[in-house]
Chain A
Amino acid sequence: MTDAVATVETEKTRDIRKRWLLSLPALLIILAAASGPLLIVVAYSFLTPGPYGDVVWQPSLDGWINVFLEKDIFDDTLSLASAHISIFVRSVVLSLVTTVLTLAIGFPTAYFIATRRETTRELWLLLITIPFWTNLLIRTFAILEIIRNEGLINGLLLRAGLIAKPLQMLFTDGAILTGMVYVYLPLMVLPLYASMEKLDFRLVEAGYDLYATPFKVLRRIIIPLVKPGIIAGSILVFIPALGAYVTPSILGGGKNLMLGNLIELQFGQGRNWPLGSALSIALMLIVMVALLFYVRNAGSQGSRQHG
């Protein structure tokens, strides 16, 4: 081995060692205060609830059984926990509808921004970025102010004499949906814009040149080209919507629970930490499936562009 080859080898190993040392703080912090504790949640889901919260160290499958089944108090028979199932279904359906609605509004908006002149584009983008970084709680509160019984809409309608008593808009699935669409809209627009910004409009011109109508250009050229953005935006909306806690707890009230609230309940009044843990893991599994779908689609999209 020549000196130079030896130098290369030692430099390579030293470089990699340096890179591990550099990334260590970030990895350790995340391990200690984000990833690591997830394993404890898995463990807790297989233990027995303690009388005042927490757990007693006695293995049990009850946490998992209670996710979808419930024990009758009198005769210990198991039946489907319809309350839990309806919460699961509500969470998934509301999240899906939120994703579709944000896409329906966000796509034209992102397209609008991407087709502005470069100087004004930045400004339109800023208008999306501001709500993106604005406190989610405050934005939910803003919706609450408008739709609650003493809120803006009811106030105006009452004063105009159009209604005799306030319309009950708060504490409905519609309220949750409105809030989530409002809150997560910027999460959809930004990735959509990122992929539309790269759109080569000469391809659109080529489409028109080959007799496509505007709608056909949209469907056959623009949408396929920005598909990575559509998928990314949908994932970015769907995942937090599924685990939403603040928005449904403010706008949905105590009856229209979503998964996040159900989980919180187990750690609060419910005092059933194993069930809460099992529900958390179940939520995470749904998210994993969604992410897997994303990775597979994003992956095939990438290879198609290269091939």
Chain B
Amino acid sequence: MARSFSVRRQRGFTTIAMVCFAALYLPIAVLVFYSFNAGESLASFDGMSLRWFEKAFQNQQVIDASLRSLQIASIAAVIATIAATMAALATTRTEPYRGLTMKYAFINQPLMIPEIVTAVALLIFFARIKIWTGYSGLGYLVAAHTAFCIPFAYLPIRARLENMDLTLEKAAADLYATPWNAFRYVTLPLLWPGILAGFMLAFVISLDDVVITEFVKSAGQDTLPTYMLGQIRRSITPEMNAISTLFLGLSICVVIVFFVVNRNRA
């Protein structure tokens, strides 16, 4: 029987899409598969083993870098989410006012500038401040990460606010809720999924950052990605595959939680 005509079908598109999905996942699959390789070479699979994972867990540098990554990502994501929530409340659901477009441009600015340029700018700027203040702690990395996380946290929060029914707050005011109570009992609970999504985006973005961290970090401040970059440039062992697999697992978990949270919007 002839295939029935479908207005949605375009010849060859499904094939290309399948190739695309395969191409996206095959390299990752290879990477993960070989992290369980007992041998050292990619050319042969010498049986299942967890030895590279063990090695990674015994590597103090890896542990330090991982903890540092999590620490920076947590602090930066919390601050960025709070700042982005406030900014989203200030820039949505209003008639245009003087400075509104400027605010949009400013908040999204880190998305518009190539990372390498921001990285160079921060390198120069923080180098000066280091000389002036003598401080060379993690504060610089946290500040830099917070700044580029803000636009990512801002996106879902703003989207959520803009989709929110304005009459709900009107109804609250009509039912004797003061502006603060209306925010506390109506706006905030309804905004919560957006805030959560914003936080997770910010967290993942901070966790993944390589370029800005690479330029801003002082000696001994490697995060997991910058440590990995250094290792990859020197010599590659399957230990890198094991670390990548763990990192991947974490990212995928966060993405799936993000997806589920975003899907269940009322």
What residues of chain A have their CB less than 8 Å away from a CB belonging to chain B?
Answer: 15-16, 18-23, 25-27, 29-38, 40-41, 44, 54, 105-106, 108-109, 111-113, 115, 122, 124, 126-131, 133-139, 141-146, 148, 150-152, 154-156, 158-159, 182, 185-186, 189, 201, 204-205, 208, 214-215, 218, 239-240, 242-243, 245-246, 249-250, 259-260, 263-264, 267, 273, 276-277, 280-281, 283-284, 287, 291
Q: Is the CB of B21 within 8 A of A109?
A: yes
Q: Is the CB of B83 within 8 A of A26?
A: yes
| Ranked 7 nearest A-B pairs via Cβ | A243-B114, A155-B43, A112-B17, A37-B121, A33-B147, A142-B27, A22-B90
Could you tell me the distance in whole angstroms from the C-beta of A269 to the nearest C-beta in chain B? 14
Residues of B within 8 Å of A130, CB to CB, are 251-252, 255-256
Q: Which residues of chain B from 24 to 38 have any CB-CB distance to chain A below 8 Å in the complex?
A: 24-25, 27-28, 30-31, 34
Could you tell me the distance in whole angstroms from the C-beta of B17 to the nearest C-beta in chain A? 4
Q: Which residues of chain B from 228 to 254 have any CB-CB distance to chain A below 8 Å in the complex?
A: 228-229, 232-233, 236, 240-241, 244, 247-248, 251-252, 254
Residues of B within 8 Å of A15, CB to CB, are 94
Q: Is the CB of A135 within 8 A of B125?
A: no
Could you tell me the distance in whole angstroms from the C-beta of A257 to the nearest C-beta in chain B? 12
Residues of B within 8 Å of A250, CB to CB, are 229, 232-233
Q: Is the CB of A260 within 8 A of B147?
A: no
Residues of A within 8 Å of B116, CB to CB, are 243, 245, 259-260, 263-264, 280, 283
What residues of chain B have their CB less than 8 Å away from a CB belonging to chain A?
Answer: 7-14, 16-17, 19-21, 23-25, 27-28, 30-31, 34, 41-44, 79-80, 82-84, 86-87, 89-91, 94, 97-99, 103, 106-107, 109-110, 112-125, 127-128, 143-144, 146-148, 150, 154, 201, 204, 207-208, 210-211, 215, 225, 228-229, 232-233, 236, 240-241, 244, 247-248, 251-252, 254-256, 258-259, 263
Could you tell me the distance in whole angstroms from the C-beta of A166 to the nearest C-beta in chain B? 10
Query: A246-B229, A267-B123 in contact; A135/B247 too (CB < 8 A)?
Result: yes
Residues of A within 8 Å of B148, CB to CB, are 34
Q: Is the CB of A34 within 8 A of B147?
A: yes
Compute how far the CA of A37 lies from the CA of B207 in the bound complex, rounded to whole angstroms. Answer: 23
Residues of A within 8 Å of B210, CB to CB, are 135-137, 245-246
* Residue from A108, A136, A245 within 8 A of B13 (CB atoms): A108
Q: Is the CB of A25 within 8 A of B82?
A: yes
* Residue from B43, B79, B251, B263 within 8 A of A134 (CB atoms): B251
How many A-B Cβ pairs are below 8 Å? 283
* Residue from A23, A40, A133, A139 within 8 A of B90 (CB atoms): A23
Query: A37-B122, A108-B16 in contact; A26/B42 too (CB < 8 A)?
Result: no
Query: A129-B255, A146-B27, A283-B114 in contact; A201/B123 too (CB < 8 A)?
Result: no
19 sample A-B contacts, Cβ–Cβ < 8 Å, listed by A number: A34-B148, A37-B121, A41-B121, A105-B20, A106-B20, A112-B14, A122-B263, A131-B25, A137-B229, A142-B27, A142-B31, A142-B244, A143-B27, A182-B24, A185-B24, A186-B24, A215-B11, A239-B114, A273-B124
Residues of A within 8 Å of B31, CB to CB, are 138, 141-142, 145
Residues of B within 8 Å of A129, CB to CB, are 255, 259
* Residue from B98, B117, B150 within 8 A of A29 (CB atoms): B150
Residues of A within 8 Å of B109, CB to CB, are 30, 34-35
Q: Is the CB of B30 within 8 A of A29?
A: no
Residues of B within 8 Å of A131, CB to CB, are 24-25, 28
Query: A22-B87, A134-B251 in contact; A32/B143 too (CB < 8 A)?
Result: yes
Compute how far the CA of A1 lies from the CA of B112 in the bound complex, rounded to whole angstroms. Answer: 46
Q: Is the CB of A113 within 8 A of B17?
A: yes
Residues of A within 8 Å of B82, CB to CB, are 25
Q: Is the CB of B107 within 8 A of A277?
A: no
Interface residue SS majority, chain A: helix
Q: Is the CB of B254 within 8 A of A133?
A: yes
Known: A29-B79, A155-B43. 18 other contacts (CB 8 A): A18-B90, A25-B82, A37-B124, A105-B16, A105-B23, A112-B16, A126-B259, A133-B251, A141-B31, A143-B27, A146-B27, A150-B43, A155-B41, A156-B43, A159-B44, A246-B211, A260-B114, A283-B116
Q: Is the CB of B125 within 8 A of A20?
A: no
Compute how far the CA of A19 lies from the CA of B84 in the bound complex, rounded to whole angstroms. Answer: 13
Q: Is the CB of B84 within 8 A of A26?
A: yes
